[in-house]
């Protein structure tokens, strides 16, 4: 497929990265002011997210109005609805005109993503690389939607994507204080091991730190490969 990636930061870039890894042509319209580049080790994160992509720094969002049917099969964006409106772009009509699968990532209120709040209270941009669960979960859902959804415009809500990942959709009647599927203390962790009882057998796993991952997982240009 020919994929056009629009927007900024991590989520659409992660989706485009996943599709590029699967052999699809991914063209990214970006700017030299992408906020990824302002992070600690932002250059490394930028390189990781945009590996195998065709990055264009001279295109503007409004240029989508000049696209023709057949230029792309898929469009990904995390642009606010208000921004598209200000640019005079009706995404739903344009997706129909171009005959593409257009997937937009939006916050539930079409405003700023809640993810920045979650990051501030969790990992932030510390560590070897930032760990943005809301972005990567949403990015995977964007990539899946791009592959599976029919042509037309589709909106993926970031909170909903994260809720699917953590089973937050499930509504289960259970006694207060009980785990929904497993008994309390089924999983035990300490500094050196993680232990879980599975089908009556105690499974003990050592901690998988960065040194272990470097030694035991396939590593290509600084990226762990599954």
Residues 110 and 200 in one domain: no
pLDDT in tens, 132-156: 677 888 899 999 999 999 999 999 9
Q: Are residues 150 and 47 in the same domain?
A: yes
Per the domain annotation, does 179 fall within a domain? no
Whether residue 47 lies inside any domain: the answer is yes
Region 121-128 average pLDDT: 43
CA–CA distances in Å: residue 218 to residues 45, 93, 131, 215: 19, 44, 20, 8
Residues 198 and 144 in one domain: no
> pLDDT averaged over the chain?
82
Residues 72 and 161 in one domain: yes
Q: Name the more confident of 87 and 204.
A: 87
- pLDDT exceeds 90 at position 22: yes
Q: Tell me what pLDDT residue 123 has.
A: 42
- pLDDT-above-70 percentage for the chain: 76
Q: What is the mean pLDDT of residues 51-78?
A: 96
Residues 136 and 204 occupy one common structural domain: no
Please give the tally of structural domains in the chain: 2
Do residues 59 and 90 both lie within one domain?
yes
Which range (23-37, 38-52, 175-189) has the least confidence? 175-189
Give the integer Cα–Cα distance in Å for 220 and 72.
30
Q: Are 157 and 107 in contact (CB under 8 A)?
A: yes
Q: Answer whether residue 171 is part of any domain.
A: no
**Rounded-to-integer distance, Cα 160 and Cα 107, Å:** 9
| pLDDT of 16 over the 80 cut | yes
Is 176 a member of any domain?
no
As a whole number of angstroms, the distance between CA 43 and CA 224 comes to: 18
Position 209 pLDDT exceeds 50: yes
Range of the domain at 40: 2-165
- 119 and 88, same domain (yes or no): yes
Domain match, 220 and 113 both: no
pLDDT at position 204: 83
- 38 in a structural domain: yes
Query: How would residue 124 be classed by pLDDT, with cut points 50, 70 and 90?
Result: very low
């Amino acid at each position: 497929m020919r994929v056009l990636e629009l927007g900024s930061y991590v989520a659409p870039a992660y989706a485009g990265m996943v599709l590029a890894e699967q052999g699809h042509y991914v063209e990214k319209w970006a700017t030299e002011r992408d906020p990824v580049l302002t992070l600690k080790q932002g250059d490394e994160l930028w390189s990781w997210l945009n590996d195998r992509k065709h990055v264009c720094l001279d295109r503007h969002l409004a240029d989508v109005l000049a696209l023709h049917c057949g230029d792309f099969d898929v469009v990904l964006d995390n642009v606010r609805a208000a921004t598209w409106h200000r640019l005079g772009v009706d995404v739903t009509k344009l997706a129909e005109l171009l005959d593409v699968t257009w997937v937009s990532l939006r916050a539930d209120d079409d405003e700023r993503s809640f993810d920045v709040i979650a990051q501030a209270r969790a990992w932030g941009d510390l560590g070897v690389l930032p760990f943005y669960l809301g972005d990567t979960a949403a990015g995977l859902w964007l990539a899946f939607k791009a592959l599976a959804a029919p042509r037309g415009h589709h909106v993926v809500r970031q909170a909903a994507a994260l809720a699917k990942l953590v089973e937050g959709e499930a509504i289960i009647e259970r006694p207060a204080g009980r785990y929904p599927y497993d008994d309390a203390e089924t999983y035990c962790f300490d500094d050196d091991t993680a232990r879980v009882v599975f089908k009556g057998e105690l499974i003990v796993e050592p901690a998988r730190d960065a040194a272990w991952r470097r030694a035991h997982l396939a590593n290509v240009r600084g990226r762990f490969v599954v």
